[in-house]
Every structure is written in C-alpha cells, then in structure tokens.
C-alpha cells in the first residue's frame, strides 16, 4: 500500500539528517520572499559539509533599491554572520548571481573560522 508523500512548505526547517532539523536564522524585511528556497538549502548543505551548523549563521537579507528584477544588476544583498565568532561578509544576489558560491569560497578560505 502506498502512502502519500508530504512536501514541506517554503518556511519549514532544513532537514539535514533523520534526527536533526536546523536552519540559518534569516532576518530582514522580505527575507523569505527575496531568498530562494534553493539558496537556503544550498547554504545549509555547504555549511554542514564543512563541519558547521546552519543555525550558527544569521542571514540578513536586504533589497537593493531601484533595481528591477529583470535586470542583471543585484536585487538584494545577503550579509552572512557567524554567530560564535561574529565574522561577517556581504554578498550580492539576484538574476545571474550566485551568492552561495561566493560564500562557499570564503568558507573554504577560512574567513568564517574553523568548525
């Protein structure tokens, strides 16, 4: 007998294993609206892969004023803060931009410390 599969809604926690649910703290007006769910999942997956916990980070999302979403200019910024060591970095987001990849390079480079 088959059971129906439940798909989580956009605001649900990121499931990282069978026993743990963690997600980064997201701040900023419209943060959930501006930040794609895929970006949130990719961010969580990368921090876990490098030994950090997603809830060790705060993502502060801010809209870039005056830029239309159809243009290739940034439409929002993501400031990532590591809660424990208070290190921060700001990345540009929007069409054609990959702030998660830029964050990953900083994480690999040690800009947010060691796990």
pLDDT in tens, the chain (115 residues): 455 444 444 555 555 553 345 677 788 776 667 788 888 889 999 999 999 999 999 999 998 887 565 667 888 999 999 999 999 999 999 888 899 999 999 999 999 998 7
Strand, coil or helix: 39: helix
Q: Can you give the pTM of this predicted structure?
A: 0.74
Query: Rounded distance, CA 40 to CA 42, Å?
Result: 6
Note the pLDDT of residue 25: 79
Query: Quick one: pLDDT at residue 65?
Result: 83
* pLDDT for the residue numbered 15: 53
Residue 36: predicted pLDDT: 83
- Residue 10's alpha-carbon distances to 17, 28, 77, in angstroms, are 18, 17, 20
């Amino acid at each position: 007998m088959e059971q129906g599969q439940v798909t989580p809604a956009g605001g649900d926690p990121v499931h990282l294993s069978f026993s743990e649910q963690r997600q980064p703290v997201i701040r900023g007006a419209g943060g959930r609206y501006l930040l794609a769910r895929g970006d949130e999942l990719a961010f969580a997956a990368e921090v876990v892969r490098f030994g950090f916990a997603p809830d060790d980070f705060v993502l502060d999302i801010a809209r870039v004023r005056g830029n239309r979403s159809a243009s290739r200019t940034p439409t929002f910024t993501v400031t990532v803060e590591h809660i424990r060591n208070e290190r921060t970095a700001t990345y540009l987001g929007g069409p054609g931009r990959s702030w998660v990849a830029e964050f990953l390079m900083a994480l690999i480079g040690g800009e947010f410390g060691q796990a």
